[in-house]
Chain A
Amino acid sequence: MARHRKWLRRLFAAIVLLITGNILCDILLQVCLDLEHEPLERDFERKVYNILVASKRTPRILITGDSRAERQIVPEVFQQQLGVDAVNVALRSGELVSIDKIFQRHGILETKPILVISATIFQVNDGAVDHDTISLDSVVALPWVDQMVLFRKKLPEMAYRKIQAYADCLETSLRGSDIRKKHYPEDGYVGVDRTLDASVNLADHIDLDPDEMKHPWYQDLRIDGKRWQVFREALGRLAESGSPIIIINPPSSPLWQEFSEGSFIDTAERKYSRMLDNEAARYPNVYCLDMHSGYRGAFTNAMFYDIQHLNRTGGTKLSRMLCDEIRRLKLLDDEPHRAGTLETNDEPLGIEDSFLSDDVACYQTGAGATLAVAGVCNPT
């Protein structure tokens, strides 16, 4: 009996040691490694480094953000329409906090380029903490207690992500940053030529009941919590640089809009747009472009390759619209049209009537390739 008593004491001591050891080790590593300033999204940093730093390029317009910018905003259009250099350094799942860290490290904002940033709802959703929906930069930007709260249902995921971060950081401090050379065609733009099949019934693939929703962006949708704070702080730091910033809540296909109209997703997207609007209004150099609620009808299903992403045709059109907005705001003249938010009800510039009616015709026929429902299921 005494042996077992001793064993229980040892068990208790081991549990206490493990828990406190892990917590202390975690806090110490986070403080010592200065993770708050170390960019941890290496692919993102590699793209910025190769396109901007290695080639010493200082473009006037810098497109960045997540896959919605990576695959939807074409630098060539800006070059043609505005006659200035533009590059696209957006990347799938790219978050504002990573952009801020990478740009700060490499002094990208010293020349005050115009930033065009896509910011999709997933990056402020506290319920989206899967591998593809939260970056390491976001994880370490949160206070320790908030990390625990945010990941309370997915603690192994958090442990795994943090071990990744520490290992990466230690490796960098030992060997130096390994930013390999990589070629990015089309100035970083990733064009997709497929077309969405609008004849697919989305109800067969997606359940809009909040309890049944499986999509990691929209599952457990909570958008004004801890990740929103991280987003706001990152936006504040970027705004402080003085660069004009156009932040976009990107458009989605009419197919998706019709399907999700009035659902909890639509409500959340509209709320998110309002939050972006209000946040942009706090800075004289930040403009918000709500393409979820506004500009409906400007894009047809034929301009998308899946229900969330524009194809090359749609991307070209969105880029033209952005050029018009930059002209309208006189951002290139260093003399802004007005501070604050864009009116999303404004008639989008550059949409010729004939062009629009062609698009509507395309949408009605709904011809195209297969619908990548994975586009809904895979985060940007």
Chain B
Amino acid sequence: MLFNSYIFLFVFLPVTWILFRLASTFRLTRLAIIILMVASLVFYSYWNPVFVLLILVSIGFNYTWGRLLEAKAPPSRFLLFIGVAMNLSVIGYFKYANFLMANVCAAFDLQWSERDIFLPLGISFFTFQQIAYLVDCYRGITRERNVAQYALFVSFFPQLIAGPIVHHEEMISQFRRLRTYAMNYRNLAMGLGFLSLGLLKKLVIADSLSPWVKDAFDTTDALTFVEAWGAALAYTFQIYFDFSAYSDMAVGLGKLFNIDLPMNFNSPYKATSIIDFWKRWHMTLSRFLRDYVYIPLGGNRRGVLRRYLNLLATMLIGGLWHGAAWTFVFWGGLHGVLLCINHAARRLCRRFSFSVPDWIGWMLTFGSVVFGWVFFRAGSFGRAVSIVKGMVGLNGIVIGGGDLPDFLADALRALHVTIGKPAVWHYFGPHQRNLLIVATVVSLCLPSTWQWVHRQVGDRPTWQSAAGIAVALCVSVLFLGRVTEFLYFQF
């Protein structure tokens, strides 16, 4: 079931909310938890009921293992290892088995035909969330006594499929507090605000960019300069508006049930450095990688060189987490290298008391991120390289300039720019160009959804914001027929 579908918005959500409120009104908090848990499993089973078994087994195993870890004093590192290994083996089978076998067989020149393994939705999210839970149990940070609450922590439908990735303690404490079951109009208002703006971002901007991205990335044609930049920028904005919209909707849905989910995006394209970018992009994944990979590897405590190696390893794992392909590994590695360069440059700047102007930092950061997204989206390494070639002008520059004055056209021709209609696919159609401009303005000049909703709905609710949200909701409903999945579902 998709957040942007009629069945979710007009059947599943109202029914679940009413049942939850009824149970809460009569102070049946356990029942309220069970209602949310069952609803979450129904939500998950909508794609493929068989995989509900997988998530139930995973919940059962991790809950039991967590209890075992809590019971051991001192905590058993061996038990933790087994628990984490079990989780990794499940995700390894579903997500990485084909990739691993294909590469091993290629290395040893063996025959291998790819197996038809269906990737269960959200497996990366709920597996990593539970690995974090086991580690927290081992560290003594969290304890769990209630299996229904634990099951809800893993399966809570707003964040089950694509995050935000949450810690056990931050969710369980909310399930336990009585305030969660009281009617809270502020949360209700903010929830509707987040949900409406998320729908608007997804349905109007991200989905409108989607066909052009597909056309450009899924063809084998060599894209010229303008086409390649058009494709890369379209995907840059598509993935941001798609994923941040999902996160906004998740936060909004959480608020409707008085559950605060953490912020996942903070205007990442406004970042003036790669370090800043990773503090703003998919913040809960960055937090997970920092707490459960980077710091256990030694973080910055073992010298500069080791720090850089840790950063690189963390980002490679982050890349691989997104998908079983070398393009993802390369993307992760690229960001790892950029982070190392960024840290090294900061040290140098500090030593020489020099600071890079923000606009230069922004240009470098945004440019690097756009190049990175090309590898992230491309179906193969070869295709990514072909698009990057186009972006640096190696496939020629063709611009649509039928109305250019002769002198300008001559000057451009002297610079080896071809005037005419780009061959396959181009971004100078007014509709495409305008949408890219809108996406740029929204992501660079306007406050993030989080800031706007907190300020305009949470702190100072005005009639203007009510009207704005109403318009966003109505426009989104108009676009609801065009159902497309969220990009992050594949991860």
Contact = CB atoms under 8 A, between A and B. Distances in A.
B445 to A, nearest CB: 25
A179 B471 CA distance: 37
A7 B482 contact: no
A156 B479 contact: yes
B21 interface: no
Nearest to A7: B461
B192 A11 contact: yes
A56 interface: no
B188 interface: yes
A15 B462 CA distance: 15
B430 to A, nearest CB: 15
Interface centre among A7, A22, A151, A155 (most CB of B within 10 A): A7
A15 B473 contact: yes
B300 interface: no
B29 interface: no
A274 to B, nearest CB: 31
Contacts, number: 60
B185 A15 contact: no
B32 interface: no
Nearest to A159: B478
A183 interface: no
B384 interface: no
A10 interface: yes
Contacts of B470: 11, 14-15, 17-18
B404 interface: no
A203 interface: no
A155 B185 contact: no
A152 interface: yes
A39 B267 CA distance: 48
Contact of A3 (B188, B461, B480, B482): B461
Contacts of A3: 461
Contacts of A22: 474
A19 B189 contact: no
B186 A4 contact: yes
Interface string A25-56: 00000000000000000000000000000000
A11 B466 contact: yes
B6 to A, nearest CB: 9
Interface in B164-209: 184-186, 188-189, 192
Contacts of B462: 7
Interface residues of A, number: 22
Contact of B474 (A5, A18, A154): A18
A8 interface: yes
Contacts of A151: 481
B256 to A, nearest CB: 12
Contacts of A154: 481-482
B185 A4 contact: yes
Given A7-B465, A14-B466, A19 B185 contact: no
A6 interface: yes
A153 interface: yes
Contacts of A159: 478
B482 A5 contact: no
Chain A interface helix/strand/loop/mixed: helix
A1 interface: yes
Contact of B471 (A8, A18, A152): A18
Interface string B459-491: 001110111011101100111111000000000
A22 B467 CA distance: 15
B457 interface: yes
A6 B461 CA distance: 9
A7 B479 contact: no
A17 B481 CA distance: 22
Contacts of B477: 155
Contacts of A156: 478-479, 482
A190 to B, nearest CB: 22
A132 to B, nearest CB: 15
B386 to A, nearest CB: 22
B482 A10 contact: no
A10 B463 contact: yes
A8 B481 contact: no
Contacts of A4: 185-186, 188-189, 461
B192 A19 contact: no
B478 A5 contact: no
Interface string B264-285: 0000000000000000000000
Interface string A292-312: 000000000000000000000
Contacts of A7: 185, 189, 457, 461-463, 465-466
A153 B474 contact: no
B189 A11 contact: yes
A8 B189 contact: yes
Contacts of B479: 155-156
Contacts of B184: 1
Given A4-B185, A7-B189, A19 B474 contact: yes
A275 B462 CA distance: 58
Given A3-B461, A153-B482, A155-B479, A8 B185 contact: yes
Given A4-B461, A7-B461, A8-B189, A14 B481 contact: no
A153 B192 CA distance: 23
Most buried by A among B463, B470, B480: B470
B221 to A, nearest CB: 15
Contact of B469 (A1, A11, A152, A155): A11
A8 B188 contact: yes
Contacts of A19: 474
Contacts of B467: 10, 14
A144 to B, nearest CB: 16
B193 to A, nearest CB: 9
A22 to B, nearest CB: 8
A215 to B, nearest CB: 15
Contacts of B463: 7, 10
A11 B480 CA distance: 20
A22 B479 CA distance: 16
B471 A5 contact: no
Given A3-B461, A18-B471, A155 B189 contact: no
A153 to B, nearest CB: 4
A70 B479 CA distance: 35
Interface in A82-106: none
A14 B192 CA distance: 13
B407 to A, nearest CB: 33
Contacts of B480: 155
18 contacts: A1-B185, A1-B186, A7-B463, A8-B185, A8-B189, A10-B463, A11-B189, A14-B466, A17-B470, A18-B470, A18-B474, A19-B474, A22-B474, A151-B481, A153-B481, A155-B480, A156-B479, A156-B482
Given A8-B188, A155-B478, 20 more contacts: A1-B185, A4-B186, A4-B189, A7-B189, A7-B457, A7-B461, A7-B463, A8-B185, A8-B189, A8-B192, A11-B466, A15-B474, A18-B470, A18-B474, A19-B474, A151-B481, A152-B481, A153-B481, A155-B479, A155-B481
What are the 3 A-B residue pairs with the smallest beta carbon separation, nearest first? A14-B470, A153-B481, A7-B461
